[in-house]
Amino acid sequence: MSNRNHLYDCWLGFENLLNPPLKEEYMKYCKNIYIRGSNDIVLAAMNELKLAIKKIFNIEADIYRRRPEAPYVLVGRLEDVANKGHVLQSGLKAEGFCIENIAEDGNDAILIIGKDGNGVLYGVFDFIRSICCGKTIEAALKVDFPRNSLRIIDHWDNIDGKIERGYAGESILYRDNAIVKDKSRVRDYARLLASIGINGIVVNNVNVHKEETKFVTEDYLPEIRGLSNVFSEFGIKIYLSINFAAPIEVGNLPTADPLDPLVKKWWADTVETIYDYIEDFGGFLVKADSEFRPGPYTYGRNHADGANMLGEVLKPYGGVVIWRCFVYNCIVDWRDRSMDRAMASYDNFKPLDGKFMDNVILQVKNGPVDFQVREPVSPLFGAMEQTNMMVEFQITQEYTGQQKHLCYLVPMWKETLDFDTYAKGEGSFVSKVADGSLFNMRYSGIAGVANVGDSPCWTGHPLAQANLYGFGRLCWNPEMTSKEIADEWTLLTYGNQGEVVMTVTSMLLGSREIYENYTSPLGVGWMVNPGHHYGPNADGYEYSHWGTYHYADLKGIGVDRTSATGTGYTKQYREPAAGIYENIQDCPEKFLLFFHHVSYNHKLKSGKTVIQHIYDIHFKGVEQVKDLLTQWSSLKGKIDEDIYSLVLEKLRIQLRDAKEWRDVINTYFYRKTGIQDIYGRKIYK
């Protein structure tokens, strides 16, 4: 059994998985590192390569500033490399890299050349990844670049150390109402993020509280600069979530009206001060006019008015405004079935298309409601043809087991990115909206809400590391499959034992469907306990003001979102999606109850009734969790004991909770309908 898989190392354990002949071939080059240029990020890349070589081959690589008279690995930016081999013909793109093998004056060399500092760093990590995955040198050679220009992690961390929707301990950024003094763990985190290609981080909660509102002032900017310096070493720009009412709360102005000249001047002065401290500051993330957060609506203005005012003051510095589209009326009357929370983002932002500045980016959640385990793709993707857009995913598992349950989220994200909007005909995938190519947008990308904290394994559940890793890899290349990412992460984290790789990968790939089976089949979400969103509560939100209903009664269940008889939400999609969702016969059954209200005796394509499907799928989900436990138990003695024990503990919690979900939901629907399970299984009547 290997001891390499320490909880803390994640996928950077750097174990050599090569056979002896291949190991010798790599070692021939790795004894010598030839570095060109003195860019800080290039130096970080050199240090990462040196560290990996030490761990993998147990040798200390020699560092050269002049070409050595022996085989070597060259690390440098394109502009700093004199003999570029074939790189000049490769058309390197921003943050891209080339790894090639050349013979030069009798000496073989592996060149890792980046278009810029970030490209060098990503190239080095890719080279290390190839070695650790057991690839041949030939297989390691490539030209590559990130498909999405912005690849951002959003932290919902508060200065008191708490994390909103955090399930892995407390913040690694804040402690005791202050920014952490010891930044060694922050640096280790920056390494993890850089290794998967992340180039931006929002360091505070989108719900900006009183103290964090001051982050844009000199009360905190010196210390935030300290954070920024750590991340900058690894090519990661820092962003701040801001309180739209900051001109009032910290600027002592009577208003935060975005069209008020004094407000604009206050923000202009504030931005100037920020860039005095943080030269490569990325910009602002804004949640406005939603869930009681202040915004331009307070003053009779619209989202474009608010975003553009901020965009104008950031533009001279190259900064951007990321404006969240998670807005809706959170004081909904449950009595009024015409009101539909799912429609809010589209209704608010579609009329404003083309009215935002070119450094404003709209950040849209993958689904129209709120990170449910199963919901359709937001119709806002593809609807904004003249506006920069980003996709927002939630890596932290708010509605998918809160990192107590295994739920590999990459398949969910793939479904979003692979969805065809038909905005410019067939093939207008969300991935093309995210990377800006569909409408030729200046700024675009993907953001993910972080799932890390100060837990020993960063993510609370060791297997939840796969979601963080998978997010980064998918941002880099959305064409990667869920299995490719799972295989890669498992190899890097647990080694190349065939049984381990096959078992862990299988567990990951099946886990989202398993979670869905025992919680929310056919597109019904939100049957959770209010507030914390953990555990089953079928009517928890049914009569609330939050607008998240399933409308179950004695006859049927589901939300009628059709244009013919319901809220009209289906009309927000382009054809053919609009027609598919509108027609109950064509609607994918995984979304049936999201779009249609049906009787419990409605026949599915399987021939089962809806009610029988609900019973069956909840019983099945529990059995599937039992199988996860069996699979994991087979790995005892084959992986690190600490990891094995912690995952085993989490899976036992998951089994307990899956049974609770099964019993609560099945009993709820039996008591609602009086319809028996045809198999006579235990339901609490």
pLDDT in tens, 192-249: 999 999 999 999 999 999 999 999 999 999 999 999 999 999 999 999 999 999 999 9
- pLDDT reported for residue 454: 97
- pLDDT reported for residue 84: 57
What is residue 74's three-state secondary structure? Answer: strand
- Which residues are marked as active site? 291, 370, 398
- pLDDT reported for residue 566: 98
Separation between Cα atoms, residue 131 and residue 120, nearest integer Å? 17
- pLDDT reported for residue 3: 39
For strands 72-77 and 32-36, give the pairing. parallel
**114 has which bridge partners?**
77, 97
Residue 292 to residues 29, 157, 325, 326, 529, Cα–Cα distance (Å): 59, 19, 14, 12, 21
Separation between Cα atoms, residue 473 and residue 469, nearest integer Å? 6
- 562: CB partners within 8 A, 6+ apart: 568, 569, 570, 581, 582, 595, 596
pLDDT at 533 over 60: yes
- pLDDT reported for residue 19: 82
pLDDT at 321 over 80: yes
* pLDDT tens per residue across span 398-445: 999 999 999 999 999 999 999 999 999 999 999 999 999 999 999 999
Give which of 390, 321, 383 is closest to 353, Cα–Cα. Answer: 383
State which amino acid sits at residue 197: G
The pair of three-digit structure tokens given for residue 90, joined into one six-digit string? 């490769």
Does residue 463 contact residue 456 with C-beta atoms inside 8 Å?
A: no
pLDDT at 500 over 60: yes
Does residue 575 contact residue 550 with C-beta atoms inside 8 Å?
A: no
C-alpha distance across the termini of the chain, in Å: 49
What is residue 678's three-state secondary structure? Answer: coil
The pair of three-digit structure tokens given for residue 452, joined into one six-digit string? 């890390």
- pLDDT reported for residue 599: 98
Separation between Cα atoms, residue 441 and residue 434, nearest integer Å? 9
Q: How many residues are there in the chain? A: 685
* pLDDT tens per residue across span 82-104: 665 555 556 899 999 999 999 87
Does residue 49 contact residue 73 with C-beta atoms inside 8 Å?
A: yes
Give all strands of the β-sheet with 32-36 in edge-to-edge order: 62-64, 32-36, 72-77, 107-114, 97-104, 142-144
Kindly indicate the confidence band of residue 107, based on its pLDDT and cuts at 50, 70 and 90: confident
pLDDT at 263 over 80: yes
Which of the 8 DSSP states describes residue 104? E
* pLDDT tens per residue across span 160-182: 999 999 999 999 999 999 999 99
Does residue 181 contact residue 174 with C-beta atoms inside 8 Å?
A: no
| Helices (H), ranges, 462-569 | 465-476, 482-494, 498-519
Q: Counting Cβ atoms within 10 Å, is residue 531 exposed (0-12), middle (13-18) or buried (19+)?
A: exposed
480-508 mean pLDDT: 96
- pLDDT reported for residue 229: 98
Does residue 560 contact residue 593 with C-beta atoms inside 8 Å?
A: no
- pLDDT reported for residue 85: 56
- 47: CB partners within 8 A, 6+ apart: none
Cβ neighbour number for residue 365 with a 10 Å cutoff: 23
State which amino acid sits at residue 480: M
pLDDT at 12 over 80: yes
Separation between Cα atoms, residue 607 and residue 140, nearest integer Å? 50
| Helices (H), ranges, 1-116 | 20-30, 40-57
pLDDT at 656 over 60: yes
- pLDDT reported for residue 4: 43
Share of the chain above pLDDT 90, in %: 93
Separation between Cα atoms, residue 50 and residue 62, nearest integer Å? 9
Give which of 586, 562, 566, 591 is closest to 576, Cα–Cα. Answer: 586
- pTM for this model (two decimals): 0.97
Does residue 28 contact residue 57 with C-beta atoms inside 8 Å?
A: no
Give 22 or 413, the one with higher predicted confidence. 413
- To the nearest 10 degrees (0 to 180), the angle between helices 117-132 and 40-57 is 10
For strands 178-179 and 200-202, give the pairing. unpaired
Kindly indicate the confidence band of residue 329, based on its pLDDT and cuts at 50, 70 and 90: confident
- pLDDT reported for residue 16: 67
pLDDT at 116 over 70: yes
How confident is the prediction for the chain on average, in pLDDT? 95
Separation between Cα atoms, residue 657 and residue 681, nearest integer Å? 18
Place of tokens 């790995």: 635
Tell me what percent of the chain is helix, strand and coil, each rounded to the nearest 5. Answer: 40, 15, 45
* pLDDT tens per residue across span 560-601: 999 999 999 999 999 999 999 999 999 999 999 999 999 999
- pLDDT reported for residue 89: 54
- pLDDT reported for residue 597: 98
State which amino acid sits at residue 4: R
Separation between Cα atoms, residue 270 and residue 218, nearest integer Å? 9
Q: Counting Cβ atoms within 10 Å, is residue 633 exposed (0-12), middle (13-18) or buried (19+)?
A: exposed
Separation between Cα atoms, residue 586 and residue 581, nearest integer Å? 7
